[in-house]
């Protein structure tokens, strides 16, 4: 089979993303229209909160994965059910972000005030719940027990991940096994579900469905590892929140887990940062310098690349089309943006 060089080997991440998502430009416009329709209500406050959330933007990676997966297995992603389910995945993702920001006491999301900071925790909780229920109500129109089972299992996994993470906030003794367990539940299962549902909608056989499911899981892990690097290396405009915020929220990300293993004496200062909620005891710049000195950011990116390679290999079951090539390029784009 002829192999093509990934887009991300040739172009910067912004251009790569533009080329990847241009394949489904029209479909993504339909998703935006469907999102607005699904999130509408005859209750004025829900419409107001929904408009605020949609205006926050976002890359819409998850619905794009569902659409690309549907096309990659030979299906028609422009059909009504594919657009509808792609929108469901974005609504579930948005609901998760709303609830996460409440739990984390986050003040910003995508460079603007988070819903909880802007409208209060009560409104944010209820809006997140409303989005979850609306997403499931819409998914019922598919009349597919298989898809409903995936969505139910996904929601349970994400909730379990959040609960497990809560028990580990403020701890510096978290191991890699615990980290990856939380990562898969909170992040990767959603990527996996998008790709698996896309394959189902495209009429793929079970082997291909499983391959797309595994692709999404490996992609989700690579995405979060890259995000962990961004937390310390990117500026606020890229992150959409303050740099180094994860540690302030009591979360030990992968680069910091590796740093603790290499330099155990840093635990005391990291503990203090998480207790105080600021970088008074040691500056963020000093923590970044330690991460770079001990090469843990580099090791994190290398780990992300290893999962990206696994994701690409999962796609070997597919015929080589422009949609498969786009799926192959997405892992590299996600990691390259972390540089």
For residue 240, what pLDDT is reported? 53
For residue 5, what pLDDT is reported? 45
Q: In this structure, how many other beta carbons lie within 10 angstroms of the beta carbon of residue 338?
A: 22
For residue 153, what pLDDT is reported? 95
For residue 10, what pLDDT is reported? 45
For residue 81, what pLDDT is reported? 93
Mean pLDDT, contiguous 10-residue spans, the chain (339 residues)? 44 71 92 88 83 78 96 91 95 90 80 84 90 90 92 95 93 94 96 98 97 98 93 65 80 95 95 92 92 95 96 96 94 77
105: left (phi over 0), alpha (psi -120 to 50) or beta: left
Per-domain residue ranges of the chain: 7-336
For residue 242, what pLDDT is reported? 63
For residue 241, what pLDDT is reported? 57
CATH number given to 7-336: 1.10.600.10
Give the DSSP letter of residue 10.
Answer: T
Q: Which of 64, 49, 58, 32 is nearest to 110 (CA)?
A: 58
Q: Which of 65, 66, 94 is nearest to 81 (CA)?
A: 66
pTM of the model: 0.90
DSSP H or E stretch at residue 112? strand 112-113
For residue 298, what pLDDT is reported? 94
For residue 306, what pLDDT is reported? 96
């Amino acid at each position: 089979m002829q192999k093509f060089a990934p887009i991300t080997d040739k172009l910067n991440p912004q251009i790569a993303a533009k080329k990847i998502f241009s394949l489904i430009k029209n479909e993504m416009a339909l998703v935006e229209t469907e999102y607005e329709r699904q999130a509408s209500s005859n209750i004025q406050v829900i419409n107001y909160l929904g408009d605020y959330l949609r205006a926050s933007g976002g890359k819409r990676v998850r619905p794009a994965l569902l659409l690309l997966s549907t096309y990659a297995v030979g299906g028609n992603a422009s059909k009504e059910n594919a657009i509808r389910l792609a929108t469901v995945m974005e609504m579930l993702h948005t609901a998760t972000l709303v609830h996460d920001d409440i739990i984390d006491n986050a003040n910003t999301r995508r460079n603007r005030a988070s819903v909880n900071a802007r409208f209060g925790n009560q409104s944010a909780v209820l809006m997140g719940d409303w989005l979850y229920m609306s997403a499931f109500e819409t998914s019922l129109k598919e009349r597919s027990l298989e898809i409903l089972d995936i969505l139910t299992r996904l929601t349970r996994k994400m909730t379990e991940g959040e609960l497990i993470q809560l028990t580990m906030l403020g701890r510096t003794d978290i191991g890699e096994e615990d980290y990856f367990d939380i990562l898969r539940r909170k992040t990767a299962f959603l990527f996996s579900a998008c790709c698996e549902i896309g394959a189902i909608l495209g009429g793929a056989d079970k082997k291909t469905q499983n391959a797309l499911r595994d692709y999404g899981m490996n992609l989700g892990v690579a995405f979060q590892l890259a995000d962990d690097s961004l937390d310390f290396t990117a500026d606020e405009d890229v992150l959409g929140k303050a740099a180094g915020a994860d540690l302030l929220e009591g979360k030990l990300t992968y680069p910091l887990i590796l740093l603790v293993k290499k330099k155990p004496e840093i635990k005391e200062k990291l503990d203090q940062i998480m207790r105080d909620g600021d970088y008074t005891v040691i500056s963020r710049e000093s923590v970044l310098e330690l991460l770079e000195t001990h090469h843990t950011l580099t090791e994190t990116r290398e780990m992300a690349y290893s999962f990206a390679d696994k994701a690409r290999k999962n796609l070997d079951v597919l015929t080589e089309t422009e949609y498969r090539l786009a799926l192959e390029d997405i892992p590299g784009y996600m990691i390259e943006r972390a540089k």
